[in-house]
A and B are shown apart, each in its own frame.
Chain A
Amino acid sequence: MSEIVSGALPDALGHYGPFGGRFVPEALMAALQELSEAFEASRNDPEFAAELADLQVNYAGRPSPISEARNFGERCCGGARILLKREDLNHTGSHKINNVLGQGLLTRRMGKKRVIAETGAGQHGVATATIAALMGFECRVYMGRVDTDRQALNVARMQLLGAEVVAVEAGSATLKDAMNEAMRDWVTNVDTTHYLIGSASGPYPFPKMVKQFQSVISAESRAQMLDRFGVLPDAVCACVGGGSNAIGSFAEYIGDDDVALYGFEAGGSGVETGEHAASINGGSVGVLHGTRTFVLQDDDGQTVESHSISAGLDYPGVGPEHAYLAQTGRAHYEPVNDDEAMTALDQLTRCEGIMPAIESAHAIAGARRLALRMLAERPDHRPTILVTVSGRGDKDADTAMRYFGVHGDVDATTGRMS
């Protein structure tokens, strides 16, 4: 992991070992180069840092607190100490604001007036539409038709913010198809437009840049842990779709060998059923959307549709740095299926009065599983597990009501369906 910590990886062409790179049409190469240069220049620019810090504090409401989930820890996790990094409390309701503030400032520096974005759950679309309003950019958001239907609240928010939302009908009409359409727009309008990718995936420099802007999560949480608890956590947990909140949650701990890193992928109906979005656990190495990583694909390399109750995790690839962290064993990735995630959503909401997004509920479920496993392995050690609540659950109220209406109530103590 020293290569990641020292900055030797990614290399100059964006490779993390065998992963990453820039598999895009040549027409985009100049824009990726321009973006790389603007991003690298910003990293050494105190003025940029000050401007970003001001927005983080006075606009987005950072730092986000760590909340101790005492009830949930006692009732559902065998008494483990469960700490929640509350990205759900950010302006716009998720971690996505962290990245769009940074990329928004870069867009302005590059002199571009128009931003486009892809979105699954709509959280990144809302965040992009928000900074477009703030910074005066024209904004178009591509969203799969399936997702505009299941995340109607966020579609309305984007439209109220002045963004144009394009429902993409192609392919599976979910996040991957929205990304294809955004790429096509970018190829056509690259002179005037910045493609504001929200995931820690895509061609270089996006994985590195999104990580940088999301690493505020772990920079804060690491200091908060030491200040308030006097220790680092035994494990850091986050949900993984493309992997932006997870890479931001892991970033500052990668060099802390005693801190285990756990990413929880969307297991859908179960990895064994083939109906899932767990690219690392159920996929294979391939190239998708400009990067080499783990991909859900068939025998020929055609992308396979992913399945998850969570629109934000419903993506058949994953950021290349996660692929590298998985391959090297520095981080562990496990699937959490729809039912486990919804059970955790119900548990956390009732125990703590905190309703996580369904995406984040995957991390909560995974943390619970991990806590019980750690306690079984070492009964004398009460584990401290830090979980990123990447977003709030308001947008998922309809989906959750439909789910619980179909599946009945959940016993908050046992996590079993009644």
Chain B
Amino acid sequence: MTDLTRPFDDESRLGVSGRMVAACRAENRAALVGYLPVGYPDVPGSIAAMVALTQGTQGRGVDAVEIGMPYSDPMMDGLAIQHADTRAIERGVRTHDVFSAVEAVAATGATPLVMIYYNLVEHYGARGRSTDPAASVRAFARDLANAGGAGLITPDLTPDDAEFWTAASDEFGLDRIYLVAPSSTDERVARTASACRGWIYSTSVMGVTGARAQTSDAAPRLVARVRSLAPDLPVGVGLGISNGTQAGQIGAFADLAIVGSALVKELIAAEDSGTNSLDGLRALVDDLAAGVRNSR
């Protein structure tokens, strides 16, 4: 078993978001990451919800917000996030709205990370006629850094095709969070980990996003495999966490517990009830935040 009280040895691997994880480890707990898409139920409403994520009801919430940018073809996402993405796009969300959300999250003291499908990055500012993807990726990185963002989580970009993003993230000091999966070979885990800065995202099950009744035993096995190949890199686990108990189970062996669809479902329920109340969201955040604190 990995000693989860040992400090991370290599500061250079931690970037911005990894230092936040190291601070949580010093408190003997996992970091809590909450995902919400910008633009759902609308842009101001989504930003209010993200701020609520950082607060819960007691002023104690997530350590980092994974700010999702809705995309027309979200092939890693299940029904809840697809539903919210579709509404957000119909209601006119734009890529630059991400930066308003980043600024708002940064102002709370939580760490803002952005989850975005790659075409939107490669097309940023190109107004539909991109001929220079490297310039678009650089412009996105510049604006993300200026807004106070820590880095990107890229569900459909692996280090194999990340030439432009690698250069831009180095130039602007941003974190690169890539995903690994139970199906990843050791060779790919090692290569992906060496391309990451901040932490590495382990998808706990094979599948798309969505809350599941049980978390999978594939998660601890994958985390152990990642740690043996990249001992200095924090490891996050996501896909399927829906309550504080599950967050605690994950937090017992992972450095970050990532919750997405369960939070989005709270917003969908609030909209469907006609209230857009954030009470349900805040209560879930309380449960999750308690979960990661009671996990070790």
Chain A residues close to B by CB (< 8 Å): 13, 21-31, 33, 170-171, 176-177, 180, 183-184, 187-191, 284-290, 292, 295, 297-303
Contact = CB atoms under 8 A, between A and B. Distances in A.
A25 B122 contact: no
A187 B155 CA distance: 12
26 contacts: A13-B160, A21-B160, A21-B161, A23-B119, A23-B157, A25-B156, A27-B203, A29-B158, A29-B160, A29-B183, A30-B181, A171-B72, A183-B75, A187-B75, A188-B207, A286-B130, A287-B156, A289-B73, A290-B156, A297-B123, A299-B127, A300-B120, A301-B119, A301-B122, A301-B130, A302-B72
Interface string B85-127: 0100100001100000000000000000000001110111011
Contacts of B72: 171, 302-303
A30 B156 CA distance: 14
B82 interface: yes
Nearest to B192: A26
A213 B72 CA distance: 31
B12 interface: no
A171 B184 CA distance: 30
B178 interface: yes
Given A22-B161, A295-B119, A299-B128, A184 B183 contact: no
B154 to A, nearest CB: 9
B26 interface: no
B167 interface: no
B133 interface: yes
Interface in B192-219: 192, 203, 206-208
B184 A29 contact: yes
Nearest to B183: A30
Interface residues of B, number: 45
A287 B119 contact: yes
Given A25-B156, A298-B128, A302-B71, A188 B183 contact: no
Contacts of A297: 119, 123, 128
Interface string B122-166: 111011111101000000000000000000000111101100000
A23 B188 contact: no
Contacts of B158: 22, 24, 26, 29
A285 B73 contact: no
A29 B119 contact: no
A391 B155 CA distance: 37
Contact of A287 (B118, B129, B181): B118
Contacts of B76: 25, 184, 187
B25 to A, nearest CB: 25
A180 B81 CA distance: 14
Interface in B230-247: none
Scoring B74, B120, B206 by chain A CB atoms within 10 A of each residue's CB, the highest score goes to B206
B50 interface: no
Nearest to A171: B72
A13 B124 contact: no
Contact of B130 (A13, A21, A176, A285): A285
B185 interface: yes
Given A25-B179, A26-B178, A170-B86, A184 B160 contact: no
A284 B130 contact: yes
Contacts of B207: 184, 187-188
Nearest to B70: A302
B129 A26 contact: no
Nearest to A27: B181
A27 B128 contact: no
A189 B126 CA distance: 36
Nearest to B94: A300
Given A21-B160, A299-B128, A180 B119 contact: no
B31 interface: no
B232 to A, nearest CB: 20
Contacts of B82: 170
B184 A30 contact: yes
Contacts of A295: 119
Contacts of B128: 284, 297-299
Contact of A301 (B120, B160, B188): B120
A27 B129 contact: no
B75 A301 contact: no
B74 A180 contact: yes
Nearest 7 A/B pairs, CB to CB: A301-B123, A27-B181, A188-B207, A287-B119, A303-B72, A183-B75, A30-B183
Interface string B42-86: 000000000000000000000000000001111110100010001
Contacts of A33: 185
A237 to B, nearest CB: 28
Contact of A171 (B73, B157, B178): B73
